[in-house]
């Protein structure tokens, strides 16, 4: 399993760069990951990220975009604005979680 270094942390990642150990994530890592995909984090981004991480802890898998919208109070339209083009994939990436099932 590949290891990459971000913000001074050695992180285990898969072949697409998604963290494979969510416990290695912190907010500094999130800022760096977001920067890599051209996203500047705002309060709305953090709300989505923290929802996704909390939901992952409860459910044991990364939520789909539909679940995020249904339970976080953030509309799908807004999620597309926050994480353009592939919001579920980009949100999971920045949140340090596995890519959601069904994401390509």
The residues annotated with a catalytic role in the active site are 103
Q: Is the dihedral of CA 95, 96, 102, 103 positive or negative?
A: positive
Look-up of token digits 């409860």: 58
Q: How many CB atoms lie within 10 A of CB 73?
A: 11
Please name the residues in contact with 18: beta carbons below 8 A apart, sequence gap of 6 or more: 92, 93, 97, 98, 99
């Amino acid at each position: 399993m590949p290891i990459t270094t971000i913000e001074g942390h050695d992180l285990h990642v898969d072949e697409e760069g998604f963290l494979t150990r969510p416990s290695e994530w912190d907010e500094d890592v999130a800022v760096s990951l977001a920067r890599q995909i051209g996203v500047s984090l705002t309060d709305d981004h953090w709300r989505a990220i923290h929802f996704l991480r909390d939901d992952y802890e409860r459910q044991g898998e990364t939520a789909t975009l539909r679940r995020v919208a249904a339970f976080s109070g953030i509309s799908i339209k807004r999620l597309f604005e926050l994480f353009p083009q592939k919001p579920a994939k980009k949100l999971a990436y920045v949140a340090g979680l596995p890519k959601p099932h069904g994401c390509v």
